[in-house]
Amino acid sequence: MSSLSLDAGRVGILGAGPFGLALGSMLAKGGRPVTIWSTTPSVAESINRDHACDRLPGHELPEGLVAVADLGELVGLARFLVLAVSSESACDRLQTLGAVATSSHIAVHALGALAPEGDRRISQLIADETPILRSGVVAGPSMAADIAAGRTTSLVCASEFDEVTSESRRLLSVPSVMRLYRSRDVIGAELASALSGAYTIAIGLADGLDVGIGTRAVLVTRAISEMTKLGTAMGGTAKTFSGLAGLGNLLVRSSVENDRISPSYSFGLDLVKGPARVVGEGPRAAIAGLRLARSRGISLPILETVGNVIAGEVSARDAASKIFETVTEEE
């Protein structure tokens, strides 16, 4: 496949979940040609025929958003690719992508997750499983419902390649709706995005137990401190964790507005009732983050406590007491 045959103005999105659909819808409404790939042919058919999808309920999808069920077709159209799948399926999807993509493609991922096994970050999976040479991550305080509704928001694109950040700003920015900032801290942006989901669980748990707004505020500050501790130990930059990918993400995900409650926050609320099945990126990021911290001998008391609750080893109330003791003692 020649790079000359690829459309440099088209965005290809891998994954027709809520975020992928919301991003594609926003870009198409802004005049950008967008092709989105779903592994389920009936989903692609519904997007093209009905301009709607039950994965993003209540939102009409623009005609400029075209869906395909053949990944080879998508990568034959778009040079710039956005990976928006779950962490559970990321390795399989990237292996599929690796069979059809070329070094001419550029890829950014928007997973807000860590690989389900091992120490690899998603950008490392892209490098290992595909021939794509230039990649990055987009992260920030953006909920699918906000993006789909056209509410103003911002993301940061982190990459070691200037072309990736430049193309991301050119293709993903929509005036008055979406603004992108640049960063070279790929490690920090990936870890901040993933861990903010994990720590959102702690805030949901605290809110479910009604610990009070003061304790909630202290919990947020300690969460950022713990995220920074692990992130910098792995090579990230401290300021990234207090920026859009870290603090910004955490504040938005722990919002209690009814139409935009994040799955991680809901999971934390549900933990008050008892152990819950591990579903979603937040719980998976908590487990992966603990694995990384333990392998490096790093103490993260809040995340450790969240992991214990998820595993059913301590009750929610005992966990809340332990978290409160931790944040007051360490502050």
Tens of pLDDT, residues 47-78: 999 999 999 998 999 999 999 999 999 999 99
Indicate whether 212 and 155 sit together in one domain: no
Asked if residue 206 belongs to a domain, the reply is: yes
CA triple 27-81-136, angle to 5 deg: 105
Question: b/e map of 302-318 (b: 16 or more CB within 10 Å)?
Answer: bbbbbbbbbeeeeebee
Residue 186: both structure tokens together: 């790929």
Shared domain check, 234 and 176: no
**Tokens found for residue 245:** 């990918």
Check whether residue 175 and residue 238 sit in a common domain.
no
Looking at the fold, whether 35 and 175 belong to one and the same domain comes out as yes
Q: Which of 112-126, 195-209, 216-230 has the least mean pLDDT?
A: 112-126
- Backbone angles phi and psi of 318, in degrees to 5: -65, -40
Q: Are residues 145 and 290 in the same domain?
A: no
pLDDT attached to residue 113: 84
Domain carrying residue 63 = 3-184
How much is the mean pLDDT over the chain?
91
**113 and 154 co-located in one domain:** yes
Residue 208 has pLDDT above 60, yes or no: yes
The domain boundary, picked from 147, 163, 184, lies at 184
Report DSSP letters for 247-301, one per residue.
IIHHHHHT---GGG--HHHHHHHHHTTS-----SHHHHHHHHHHHHHHHTT---H
Does residue 189 form part of some domain?
no
**CA 45 to centroid of chain Cα atoms:** 26
Tell me whether residue 267 is in a domain.
Answer: yes
Contact 237, 160 (CB under 8 A): no
Angle between helices 301-310 and 186-208 (to 10 degrees): 60
| Six token digits for residue 19 | 């975020």
Q: DSSP letter at 154?
A: E
Number of domains in the chain: 2
CA–CA separation, 143 vs 145, rounded Å?
A: 5
208 and 290 together in one domain:
yes
